[in-house]
Structure 1
């Protein structure tokens, strides 16, 4: 006999998952500097563009269905400022009912849309709770403004179909065997703490594009090319002549290396600010950086055991470290060039909290 529970949450959970699938779809539509917000003014919101209510239901969307009136009531709420959006959209897996006045909603004029809402509210013997919240706004300018922006997209793919259509949409650049993994990784990132921080659940166009680019490359055949060395005129970060990392080079009297060290320092911080500031890429950079520091500390500890001339031996140690091979960097087809590893070392030499130095004693 089939076991039942007092409250089956599977339908509501499906609705939440479906909301994330729709969010991924809309993230691909974001323009530069745009953001997508979850549960801010609605299920999905893109400031200055669209406010989207997402519904995953099987039964038809009728004239009295709660999804229609919940949506309108939410947008008519005093706390909601519809002027922040040029589109107010209801996306639902439901099909508009065969007898519903909502049929062909998109093609109807504003006057016809308002008449439909008015007729539904004025011809019923009794109104449900949400309809009663909308009724006071009949003949109001606020309702006119909202109905003018209101779009209904019915018959949206149900959750299973949406999942597989997204896999096909986003996975064209990776082998077929990896497309599901790419989709699952993207959903995982979307619901991770780095996106959902406190009350702010926001995805910027830059963060999404960066994360997708990284995940896509991860599930390809590892053909991603490491960022090139930036030119001095493109540096976004520089350092002062009295910086700690430069002082540590002066401590071993290796003055000829100061200019090159300064360049490596600026090159790395410029690349990091453009490529590795957030998401999974940042984690990969953190792993690489840890490997660089660990290798340096091991070599420094070993070399310190035998020192004849502190300055000369420290300069030789400096050369040996910078001439050694750079560690590998996840997702790239080859290890970064040495200028990147050198810059990472100089950046960490500049950190007062780390006891790193070139001097052997």
Structure 2
């Protein structure tokens, strides 16, 4: 297969961007949810805030002309018999588009319902007259849509819709909306975790859990998720850092690390079946420490003290285990006892790092392998799994 095949005629990039734009708008409205209220996506419209707003979200590259379908389609949808506009305080068309320079609707939001109707009539009437003078047998799609909205039989309902109808034009770009979201809602979140927070909260909103149940998000569910993520990613979080274990595991090449001290010390006790896991634990510990430093959640002093405490605990435990091996000369038995010690150390209760309430076993074990991987300044401080002296 070619590395850079020609693009297919259809480019879905813009579609995905529009979907993400809608999700970010939905996220912003989730923060407006009050206790006991719900938000829907793609149920009554693009985004619906119970009892408050029904929002149509548009991401388009062109200008918002008087006859643009985004205007007339939206009004037509709000007039649909299956849509109860009385359930909302406002009906919002939100678009990144700007009104065209000669638009009739630039003063839309400051107009009364009757004035809005007159503005629409000023757009529709000339189009209808032009069609009457033409020889066309059927009206254009745009005219048919305008006729549906301006139907005299629906005027009373249309006026009720227009009273609540708000057009938000020039809505910020996706990039700007995400930037503003970070400034407004993520001040307490570690900067390096801003994208993680956004990915997780958008993943929550778009999860199958909601899609399968009608894409309904309650205030309580949303608050619980925000609380969970804030606790995990906040500046002084007590939640232990997470790492991409799968990616780290895929980066392990046992042939490349064959000469590393921690590897030789595992082979020394014939624990090679545990080697790949040991390598992964060492990588996990390194990745966590990098995160701790980056986010100022721990200092080099904190890590050195944690390592020193575990070195001391290990050395004392090793000396105790060696007592049971006194007088033993059989290499097989010594290796077997050493392997038992190895697993006992790995399965021991984890001492937490600083105030992290869930310091992981993998991190602690990775600290052991870090200690085993360095040459100690003093012989008595050298880290071994073996229960015999050379």
Superposition TM-score, scaled by structure 1 size: 0.60
Cα distance in 1 between the residues matched to 2:90 and 2:182 = 27
1:334 aligned partner = 357
Give yes or no for the alignment of 1:70 onto 2:70.
no
Aligned to 1:165: 180
Match of 1:196 among 179, 198, 211: 211
Query: What are the superposed Cα offsets for residues 141-170 of structure 1, whole Å, 9 maximum, x if unpaired?
Result: 110000110001111111222122222222
SS at match of 1:91: strand
Do 1:167 and 1:180's aligned partners in 2 also have CA atoms closer than 8 Å? no
Q: Deviations over 1:11-31 (max 9, x none)?
A: 222111110000000111111
- Name 1:234's counterpart in structure 2: none
| Separation of aligned partners in 2, 1:91 and 1:75 | 14
Report what 1:223 is aligned to: 238
Larger gyration radius, structure 1 or structure 2: 2
**Equivalent residue for 1:177?**
192
Per the TM alignment, residue 216 of structure 1 is displaced from its structure 2 partner at its CA by 1.1
Which of the numbers 118, 131, 141 marks the counterpart of 2:156? 141
* Distance change in 2, residues 1:47/1:143 (3 Å): same
CA–CA distance in 2 between the matches of 1:138 and 1:64?
21
**Cα distance in 2 between the residues matched to 1:191 and 1:12:** 16
Distance in 2 (alpha carbons) for counterparts of 1:38 and 1:28: 14
Distance 1:333 1:74, change over 3 A: same
Q: How many residues align?
A: 232
Quick one: structure 1 residues 114 and 184, their matched pair in 2 at CA, closer, same or farther if it must change by over 3 Å? same
Question: For residue 63 of structure 2, what is the aligned residue in structure 1?
Answer: 60
The residue number in structure 1 matching 2:226 is 212
Question: What's the CA shift string for 1:245-296, capped at 9, x where partnerless?
Answer: xxxxxxxxxxxxxxxxxxxxxxxxxxxxxxxxxxxxxxxxxxxxxxxxxxxx
Distance 1:65 1:146 in 2: 18
Q: Secondary structure at the match of 2:209?
A: coil
Q: Which position in structure 2 is the counterpart of 1:108?
A: 111
2:31 to 28, 31, 36: 28
> 2-side partners of 1:2 and 1:122: how far apart?
50
- Structure 2 gaps of 5+ residues are 132-139, 240-347, 359-390
Separation in 2, partners of 1:327, 1:2: 51
SS of the aligned residue for 1:32 comes to coil
Distance 1:144 1:328, change over 3 A: farther
Q: Are the structure 2 counterparts of residues 22 and 137 from structure 1 closer, same or farther at C-alpha, using a change threshold of 3 Å? A: farther
In the alignment, structure 1 segments of 5+ residues that lack a partner are: 225-324, 336-361
Distance 1:63 1:147 in 2: 16
CA RMSD of aligned residues (A): 2.5
Match of 1:195, SS state, is helix
- Structure 1 pair 130–7 and aligned structure 2 pair: CA distance change class (3 A): farther
The answer to whether the Cα contact below 8 Å between 2:92 and 2:167 also exists between their aligned partners in 1 is yes
Alignment match, 1:87: 90
> Which among 3, 8, 12 is matched to residue 9 of structure 1?
12
Distance 1:35 1:98 in 2: 38
1:119 to 118, 122, 128: 122
- SS of 1:64's partner is coil
> Could you say what secondary structure the match of 1:140 adopts?
helix
Name the counterpart of 2:146.
131
1:18 aligns with 2:21: yes
**Deviations along 1:48-81, whole A, 9 cap, x unmatched?**
1111000011211110111101101111111111
